[in-house]
């Protein structure tokens, strides 16, 4: 069994092998991790690589296993199979298992998990080898790092707001200069306005400190905005891993597409790199299949335009202030009886929802012309 | 026209993630040393019940028939049943009415009344009995039993009901009003149904006390199963007759537990959210102010005034001589010693079980908790009988030693420690332990510095209540105390049995003085606990 290196508190958090800043190292390697609880397999073989200093969001519905994965990485749970390597050292796997306190991992729980019997300062110095007056400068430094006044050190956690508690929890986790920071839905307990502000503050602090970070969340928008890399977790597996832009615009399956945002799904016929559907011919990059498919477009790709041959009638609208969701029934496509019969010709008539900024334009019954911007994504036809 | 909607909306998973993390993953049985310890403790706590079952099984049907189906048992049954059937409803009515008056009306002085109504709990029932016999020497029979029991035990209903009333969400009552109910109708249709659980819990406690009480009824020569078992045991020692009476008594207790769990059903004791505490509304009393004040004054005079007055009277009559009897200081020291050791042992013994219940809920844990709940509802006389017989036959080395007496205290008062430890552990979620581990503390250090530290106040509260129980414990102490051991309770008992009422008075006073702060603690704690 190997032991993890515990960097001295004042030492640089960057391990020696990453001395070259341009060389991106795989800092965390999760390979084939499985975990069952009472006969239920929660993790069914998870592989994940996180580069040094980068931010990864693991996003998934509740019960998908994302929190368990985080707990395996943290060392609160031992995997049944597979391995976890941290900074080149195997912390879980065939050669043994290191418990949480011997890994150099920071952890921020959903509600911060500040010790209620200790002051903010005592919480922050909890993991430090020094305490009291000796630790005070470091505590002040850490509080400033999370944009809090050092005077807060004397307060009790109960005197802080939710966002402040989370920032103190982050400062506490940063105190030991961990190699890896794990955030378990740290923003979900905060209300909407505070959530965005705290997320930004935490994100900035972590990237300034250059700490490799994993965020677990069920909030797709949070995952897409926070991370360099998004891993979509579903049913104990990582369904897709990629940059936020790629997983949002080119999801690999329909469930991922629908989980990450609103999606317009239409029946289509794939020929070459063009999908023929009620919205016309939509270009698709590297389609996995040909023939009958589901075509996925994001609602913001469908625009209202002046003129054009794709037409639809407004069914109803939902007004949200800055934008309006407009439900549109596409016009049935009239087939020229004299022309050649194409069995793959779309018939039209589907109802789609798009978003538009101008509520006045979209009164129910209005006839609109539509156009599609960008590429679509197709998934195999599943009946 | 049927719309085939081709747009899907991103699913926003709900926040049930939280419950998932807390419950869904915690079903494993827990660290094995804790599990083994808990099983041993639960097995130990099942000793009295097992003993009674074993003895009954061994006796054979003929003996059972001969010993159980006889007129004497019929009399005891009538007395005990009568006592329960009359006293419990009286306690419920007095407790609920009192709680409502002090918590929900603008009765003048309701703050003082709320403490005064809980105060009788500081007076042990047998001291109450002693005072009443001093006041009315002819007191006896069912009437005497009911009078003393009601005055001693109504706070057991009052305290939980008052706690629930003071913490009940006013929004419910406001909804009732907005649906067109007047204040009185709101009370009967909205408030009262919510008190059912607290009142049923209090009623169960009263019933169990009635079944277990020895001193108060022996003093007025009112025979119940417990007094009969004690007399039988004293006269025949280890006799089959005492065992058979004990099994009938145990059967009673089990029926009561079953009955209470039926009333409770699947509902949980009222839980109010952790949000901002709004003050519940109070009703104007109007012309009811005077009857209300008079009623509470009469209750307090009977439950507090009579015992305090007569203890004081005997103290004055006795003069300074009764304080220098010599045994007093010794009894006080021994009581404090047993109280402290017993409280410590009980709290330590209860800890593993409380830990499992909170951190690793599951079928095994539930079973262990249930075993403990049932066994600790056994009357002191049954526990004492079981321990005496088992130690004589199987471990004579410890027979009549302090070890056995402390074990009996642990068996009797474990729930007090358990309830408090559970509340304390619930305040120290495992996430805090994990946070400490992620900060580099080994699990044991994390446990000591976080979980144990956070549980300490609750553990101390539980220990104080165990201490209170031990100070006032009479029955088991009489049977199990080593030779030469005299606690305040046993010394008080032997003096008052010899009709040395003046000599007994200082002991009564000391017991009341020791109990008073603990009773206040219990009262204050109940107000907090009701919200959790």
By percentage, how much of chain A surpasses pLDDT 90? 40
A62–B14: do the CB atoms touch at under 8 Å?
yes
CA atoms of A148 and A141, how far apart (whole Å) = 10
| Cβ neighbours of B174 (radius 10 Å) | 14
pLDDT at residue B71 is higher than 60: yes
Cβ contacts of A219 on chain B, cutoff 8 Å:
12
User: Does residue A115 belong to the interface with chain B, where contact is any CB pair within 8 Å?
Assistant: yes
User: Does residue A75 belong to the interface with chain B, where contact is any CB pair within 8 Å?
Assistant: yes
Do B189 and B249 reside in the same domain of the chain? yes
Three-class SS of residue A232?
strand
Q: What is the pLDDT of residue B429?
A: 84
**Which of A62, A76, A109 is the closest to B16 by Cβ?**
A62
Do B263 and B332 reside in the same domain of the chain? no
User: Within the 170-199 window of chain A, which residues sit less than 8 Å (CB to CB) from chain B?
Assistant: 172-173, 175-176, 182, 185, 188
Q: What is the pLDDT of residue B294?
A: 93
pLDDT at residue B226 is higher than 60: yes
Nearest to A283 by CA among A271, A293, A292, A265: A271
Cβ contacts of B14 on chain A, cutoff 8 Å:
62
pLDDT at residue B278 is higher than 70: no
**Centroid of chain to Cα A60:** 8
pLDDT band at B272 (very low <50, low <70, confident <90, very high): very low
Q: Contact A84/A159 with Cβ under 8 angstroms?
A: no
Arithmetic mean of pLDDT, B360-379: 81
Q: What is the pLDDT of residues A241-281, one digit of tens each?
A: 999 999 999 999 999 999 999 999 999 999 999 999 988 88
pLDDT band at B299 (very low <50, low <70, confident <90, very high): very high
Q: What is the pLDDT of residues A179-194, one digit of tens each?
A: 899 999 888 877 887 8
Cβ contacts of A263 on chain B, cutoff 8 Å:
7-8, 10
Is residue B339 in a domain? Answer: yes
Q: What is the pLDDT of residue A341?
A: 64
**Which of A173, A188, A353 is the closest to B7 by Cβ?**
A353
**Which of A127, A299, A351 is the closest to B440 by Cβ?**
A127
For B164, the enclosing helix (H) or strand (E) is: helix B155-167
Arithmetic mean of pLDDT, A83-107: 89
pLDDT at residue B1 is higher than 50: no
pLDDT band at B312 (very low <50, low <70, confident <90, very high): very high
Pick B402 or B283 by higher pLDDT: B402
Q: What is the pLDDT of residues B416-462, one digit of tens each?
A: 888 888 888 887 888 888 899 989 888 889 988 888 888 888 888 88
Work out the burial of residue B203: count CB atoms within 10 Å of its CB; fewer than 13 is exposed, 13-18 middle, 19 or more buried.
buried
CA atoms of B372 and B368, how far apart (whole Å) = 6
pLDDT at residue B274 is higher than 60: no
Arithmetic mean of pLDDT, A309-317: 88
Is residue B92 in a domain? Answer: yes
Cβ contacts of A317 on chain B, cutoff 8 Å:
none
Do B172 and B238 reside in the same domain of the chain? yes
pLDDT at residue B266 is higher than 60: no
Q: What is the pLDDT of residue A14?
A: 39
pLDDT at residue B15 is higher than 60: no
Cβ contacts of A113 on chain B, cutoff 8 Å:
429, 431-432, 434-435
Q: What is the pLDDT of residues A151-175, one digit of tens each?
A: 999 999 888 888 889 889 999 998 9
User: Does residue A91 belong to the interface with chain B, where contact is any CB pair within 8 Å?
Assistant: no
Is residue B174 in a domain? Answer: yes
**Residues A265, A270, A272, CA angle at the centre, nearest 5°?**
140
User: Does residue A318 belong to the interface with chain B, where contact is any CB pair within 8 Å?
Assistant: no
Is residue B245 in a domain? Answer: yes
Q: What is the pLDDT of residues B109-123, one digit of tens each?
A: 888 998 899 999 889
pLDDT at residue A369 is higher than 80: yes
Determine which of A58, A73, A101, A262 to mutate to test the interface with B (most B C-beta atoms within 10 Å). A101
Q: What is the pLDDT of residue B369?
A: 80
Do B356 and B502 reside in the same domain of the chain? yes
Mean pLDDT value across chain A? 85
Determine which of B17, B27, B432, B442 to mutate to test the interface with A (most A C-beta atoms within 10 Å). B17
Q: Contact B194/B130 with Cβ under 8 angstroms?
A: no
Q: What is the pLDDT of residue B187?
A: 79
A107–B435: do the CB atoms touch at under 8 Å?
yes
Q: Contact A70/A242 with Cβ under 8 angstroms?
A: no
User: Does residue B27 belong to the interface with chain A, where contact is any CB pair within 8 Å?
Assistant: yes
Arithmetic mean of pLDDT, B79-87: 93
Query: Domain spanning A16-249: which superfamily?
Result: P-loop containing nucleotide triphosphate hydrolases (3.40.50.300)
Is residue B23 in a domain? Answer: no
Report the domain count for chain B. Answer: 2
Nearest to B6 by CA among A297, A247, A308, A383: A297
> In the A/B pair of chains, how many CB contacts fall below 8 A?
131
Q: What is the pLDDT of residues B132-176, one digit of tens each?
A: 998 888 888 899 999 999 999 999 899 888 888 887 777 777 777
Nearest to B356 by CA among B412, B411, B407, B425: B425
Arithmetic mean of pLDDT, B239-259: 84
Q: What is the pLDDT of residue B4?
A: 54
pLDDT at residue B326 is higher than 60: yes
Q: Encode burial over B460-480: b for 16+ CB neighbours within 10 A, e otherwise.
A: ebbbbbbbbbbbbbbbbbbbb
pLDDT band at B97 (very low <50, low <70, confident <90, very high): very high
Cβ contacts of B359 on chain A, cutoff 8 Å:
none
B28–A265: do the CB atoms touch at under 8 Å?
no
A61–B432: do the CB atoms touch at under 8 Å?
no
ipTM of the complex: 0.73
Q: Encode burial over B309-321: b for 16+ CB neighbours within 10 A, e otherwise.
A: ebbebbbeebeee
Nearest to B272 by CA among B403, B351, B165, B345: B165
pLDDT band at B20 (very low <50, low <70, confident <90, very high): very low
User: Within the 410-449 window of chain B, which residues sit less than 8 Å (CB to CB) from chain A?
Assistant: 427, 429, 431-432, 434-443, 446
Cβ contacts of A106 on chain B, cutoff 8 Å:
438
Pick B197 or B109 by higher pLDDT: B109
Q: What is the pLDDT of residue A55?
A: 92
B438–A105: do the CB atoms touch at under 8 Å?
yes
Q: What is the pLDDT of residues A203-228, one digit of tens each?
A: 888 888 889 999 999 989 899 998 99
A188–B15: do the CB atoms touch at under 8 Å?
yes
Cβ contacts of B3 on chain A, cutoff 8 Å:
315, 329, 351
Pick B264 or B287 by higher pLDDT: B287
Determine which of B3, B27, B439 to mutate to test the interface with A (most A C-beta atoms within 10 Å). B439
Cβ contacts of A214 on chain B, cutoff 8 Å:
none
Three-class SS of residue B111?
helix
pLDDT at residue A4 is higher than 60: no
A37–B24: do the CB atoms touch at under 8 Å?
yes
Q: What is the pLDDT of residue A9?
A: 42
Q: What is the pLDDT of residue A249?
A: 92
Do B80 and B123 reside in the same domain of the chain? yes
Question: Which residue has tokens 């477009």?
Answer: A297
Q: Contact A55/A21 with Cβ under 8 angstroms?
A: no
Question: Where residue B447 sits, what CATH number does that domain have?
Answer: 1.10.3720.10
**Number of Cα atoms under 13 Å in the Cβ half of residue A79:** 29
pLDDT band at B29 (very low <50, low <70, confident <90, very high): low
Arithmetic mean of pLDDT, B236-250: 79
Residues of the domain holding B185: 48-269+285-294
pLDDT at residue A19 is higher than 50: no
Q: What is the pLDDT of residue A202?
A: 86
Domain boundaries, chain A: 16-249, 262-380
**Residues A196, A199, A201, CA angle at the centre, nearest 5°?**
110
User: pTM for the whole thing?
Assistant: 0.75
User: Within the 61-120 window of chain B, which residues sit less than 8 Å (CB to CB) from chain A?
Assistant: none
Do B244 and B336 reside in the same domain of the chain? no
Q: Which of A63-72, A335-344, A373-382, B8-17 has the lowest mean pLDDT?
A: B8-17
CA atoms of A66 and B416, how far apart (whole Å) = 40
**Which of A100, A188, A350 is the closest to B434 by Cβ?**
A100
pLDDT band at B370 (very low <50, low <70, confident <90, very high): confident
Q: Contact B104/B110 with Cβ under 8 angstroms?
A: no
Mean pLDDT value across chain B? 82
**Which of B17, B434, B454 is the closest to A117 by Cβ?**
B454
Q: What is the pLDDT of residue A12?
A: 40
Q: What is the pLDDT of residue B25?
A: 36
Determine which of A3, A61, A100 to mutate to test the interface with B (most B C-beta atoms within 10 Å). A100
* CB proximity list for A58: less than 8 A, separation 6 or greater: A48, A66, A69, A70, A214, A215, A216, A217, A223, A231, A233, A238
| A119-128, A300-309, A317-326 — most confident range | A119-128
pLDDT band at B528 (very low <50, low <70, confident <90, very high): low
B8–A62: do the CB atoms touch at under 8 Å?
no
Arithmetic mean of pLDDT, A36-63: 91
Q: Which of B16-30, B306-320, B426-440, B511-525 has the lowest mean pLDDT?
A: B16-30
Q: CA of B445: which chain A residue's CA is closest?
A: A101
Pick A107 or B532 by higher pLDDT: A107
pLDDT at residue A125 is higher than 80: yes
């Amino acid at each position: 069994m190997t032991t993890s290196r515990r960097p001295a508190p004042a030492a640089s958090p960057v391990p020696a092998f990453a001395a070259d800043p341009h060389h991106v190292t795989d800092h965390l390697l999760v390979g084939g991790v499985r975990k069952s609880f009472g006969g239920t397999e929660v993790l069914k073989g998870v592989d994940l690589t996180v580069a040094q200093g980068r931010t990864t969001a693991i996003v998934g519905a509740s019960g998908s296993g994302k929190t368990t994965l985080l707990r395996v990485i943290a060392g609160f749970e031992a995997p049944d199979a597979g391995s976890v390597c941290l900074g080149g050292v195997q912390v879980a796997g065939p050669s043994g298992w290191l418990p949480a306190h011997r890994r150099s991992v920071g952890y921020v729980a959903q509600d911060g998990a500040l010790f209620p019997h200790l002051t903010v300062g005592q919480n922050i110095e909890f993991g430090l080898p020094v305490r009291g007056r000796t630790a005070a400068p470091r505590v002040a430094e850490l509080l400033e790092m999370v944009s809090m006044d050092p005077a807060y050190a004397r307060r009790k956690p109960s005197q802080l707001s939710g966002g402040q508690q989370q920032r103190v929890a982050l400062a506490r986790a940063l105190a030991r200069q961990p190699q890896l920071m794990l955030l378990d839905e740290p923003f979900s307990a905060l209300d909407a306005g505070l959530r965005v502000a705290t997320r930004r503050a935490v994100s900035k602090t972590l990237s300034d400190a250059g700490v490799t970070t994993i965020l677990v969340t069920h909030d797709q928008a949070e995952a897409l905005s926070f991370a360099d890399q998004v891993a979509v977790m579903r049913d104990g597996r990582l369904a897709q891993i990629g940059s936020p832009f790629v997983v949002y615009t080119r999801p690999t399956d329909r469930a991922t597409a629908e989980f990450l945002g609103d999606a317009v799904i239409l029946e289509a016929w794939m020929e070459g790199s063009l999908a023929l559907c009620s919205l016309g011919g939509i270009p698709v990059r590297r389609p996995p299949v040909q023939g009958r498919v589901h075509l996925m477009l994001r609602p913001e790709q469908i625009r209202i335009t002046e003129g054009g041959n794709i037409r639809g009638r407004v069914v109803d609208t939902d007004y949200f202030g800055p934008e309006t969701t407009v439900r549109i029934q596409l016009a049935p496509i009239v087939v020229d009886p004299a022309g050649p019969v194409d069995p793959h010709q779309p018939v039209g008539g589907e109802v789609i929802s798009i978003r538009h900024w101008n509520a006045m334009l979209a009164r129910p019954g209005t006839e609109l012309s539509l156009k599609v911007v960008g590429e679509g994504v197709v998934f195999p036809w599943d009946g | 026209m049927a719309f085939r909607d081709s747009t899907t909306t991103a699913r926003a998973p709900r926040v049930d993630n939280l419950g998932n993390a807390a419950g869904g993953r915690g079903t494993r049985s827990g660290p094995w040393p804790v599990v083994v310890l808990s099983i041993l403790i639960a097995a130990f706590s099942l000793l009295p019940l097992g003993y009674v079952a074993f003895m009954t099984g061994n006796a054979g049907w003929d003996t059972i028939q001969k010993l159980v189906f006889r007129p004497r048992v019929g009399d005891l049954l009538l007395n005990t049943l009568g006592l329960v059937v009359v006293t419990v409803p009286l306690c419920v009515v007095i407790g609920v009415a009192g709680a409502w008056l002090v918590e929900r009306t603008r009765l003048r002085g309701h703050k003082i009344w709320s403490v005064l109504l809980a105060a009788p709990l500081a007076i042990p029932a047998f001291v109450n009995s002693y005072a009443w016999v001093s006041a009315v020497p002819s007191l006896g029979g069912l009437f005497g039993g009911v009078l003393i029991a009601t005055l001693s035990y109504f706070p057991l209903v009052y305290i939980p009901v008052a706690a629930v009333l003071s913490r009940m969400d006013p929004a419910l009552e406001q909804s009732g009003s907005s649906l067109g109910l007047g204040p009185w109708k709101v009370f009967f249709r909205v408030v009262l149904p919510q008190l059912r659980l607290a009142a049923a819990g209090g009623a169960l406690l009263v019933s169990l006390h009635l079944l277990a009480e020895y001193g108060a009824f022996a003093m007025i020569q009112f025979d119940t199963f417990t007094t009969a078992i004690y007399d039988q045991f004293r006269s025949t020692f280890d006799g089959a007759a005492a065992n058979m009476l004990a099994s009938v008594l145990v059967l009673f207790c089990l029926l009561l537990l079953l009955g209470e769990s039926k009333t409770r059903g699947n509902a949980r004791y009222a839980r109010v959210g952790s949000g901002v505490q709004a003050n519940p509304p109070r009703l104007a009393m109007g012309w009811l102010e005077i009857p209300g004040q008079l009623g509470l004054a009469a209750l307090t005079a009977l439950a507090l005034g009579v015992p305090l007055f007569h203890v004081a009277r005997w103290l004055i009559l006795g003069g300074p001589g009764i304080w220098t009897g010599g045994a007093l200081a010794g009894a006080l020291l021994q009581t404090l010693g047993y109280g402290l050791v017993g409280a410590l042992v009980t709290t330590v013994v209860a800890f593993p079980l409380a830990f499992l219940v909170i951190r690793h809920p599951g079928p095994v844990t539930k079973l262990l908790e249930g075993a403990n709940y049932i066994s600790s509802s056994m009357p002191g006389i049954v526990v004492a009988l079981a321990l005496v017989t088992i130690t004589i036959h199987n471990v004579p080395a410890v027979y009549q030693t302090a070890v056995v007496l402390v074990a009996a205290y642990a068996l009797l008062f474990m729930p007090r420690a358990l309830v408090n430890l559970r509340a304390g552990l619930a305040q120290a979620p495992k996430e805090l332990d994990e946070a400490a581990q992620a900060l580099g503390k080994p699990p044991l250090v994390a446990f000591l510095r976080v979980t144990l530290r956070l549980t300490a106040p609750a553990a101390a509260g539980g220990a104080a209540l165990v201490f209170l129980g031990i100070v006032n414990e009479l029955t088991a102490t009489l049977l199990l105390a080593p030779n030469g051991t005299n606690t305040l309770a046993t010394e008080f008992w032997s003096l008052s049995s010899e009709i040395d009422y003046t000599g007994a008075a200082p002991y009564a006073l000391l017991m009341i003085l020791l109990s008073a702060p603990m009773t206040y603690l219990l009262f204050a704690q109940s107000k907090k606990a009701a919200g959790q």
